[in-house]
Amino acid sequence: MDLDPDLAALRPLGGFFRLHVVGDPTRDPPRPLPTLAHVYEHRSSDVYGDPLTFRVRKVNRALRAPEERIGASVAQQGLAARLWSAALGCAALYGRIPDLDPRLLLWDPDGSAPDDLWLTEVRSLPGDAASVASAVLDGHLEPLSAALRARHPVAPGLLRGNAASALAATARQLELWAHAHDRPDAAARARDLTAELFAHPLLTDTGTRTRTAAGPAFRRRSCCLYYRVPGGGVCGDCCFTRPPRSSPNVPSG
């Protein structure tokens, strides 16, 4: 099944999976937006001229976080979740993925969560694990990590852990949806693709995957720093079972 022009199969999966396509008058971008290629490559001392720094500071303000590296971590994980969701959702439902070249994706750094993404052109690619890894890990998460680390003291292992956590959450949500909507084919594809993706060198040592009666589960070997947000706790897949009392050497994966 090839991709349709507006990727309509993603819509029933919810906001994290939905990918807007430029040309839909009901969901066109609200203003001129940067491509993700521009975001990863851009450097500016002016926060308003740097979309990535603008986003990190927006997240930090929303969380009342005491350090910008927390906003950097949370912002990266949010964008990772959106990219994994669009790619894995298409691979499971269509057996194909759209070309997610950063030059084709528009992003709104001032948007709410989940991050709004617009694809300027739908180009069909194979939906195998190698293509998904190339599109998401190589095409986005590695250059995004490099751009964030050039601005903030965020450990690379922490960012890889965020990428793995986002993938595990995406896979779990997709499998649950597929079983609830009698799509065992989509559930099987999502499960097989996720297993192959976690064998990738960038993800293989990020945590432990298990399968429970409730579905797939994941325990990461790093922490996203959310516990350092006022009133924040540990996430369900965190390496910590309770928030540390002091400022530890946060595991980086």
- Is the pLDDT higher at 212 or at 72? 72
Q: What percent of the chain has pLDDT over 90?
A: 79
SS3 173: helix
Tell me the torsion sign for CA atoms 237, 82, 164, 216: positive
* Radius of gyration from C-alpha coordinates of the chain: 18
* Closest of 202, 189, 78, 79 to residue 134, by C-alpha: 202
Whether residue 253 has pLDDT greater than 70: no
What's the pLDDT at 248? 46
Q: 28-37, 39-48, 71-80, 130-139: which has the minimum mean pLDDT? A: 39-48
What's the pLDDT at 44? 59
The mean pLDDT of 7-17, rounded to a whole number, is 93
Asked if 132 and 89 count as a contact pair (C-beta separation under 8 A), the reply is no
Whole-Å CA distances, 54 to 28, 42, 46, 59, 130: 22, 12, 9, 9, 32
The mean pLDDT of 21-25, rounded to a whole number, is 82
Distance CA 77, CA 8 (A): 25
* Closest of 89, 88, 61 to residue 75, by C-alpha: 61
Residue 51 phi, psi dihedral angles, 5° rounding? -60, -35
Give domain limits for the chain.
8-206
Q: pLDDT (tens digit, 9 = 90+) per residue, 233-248?
A: 999 999 998 888 654 4
Q: pLDDT (tens digit, 9 = 90+) per residue, 25-48?
A: 667 887 889 999 999 997 655 555
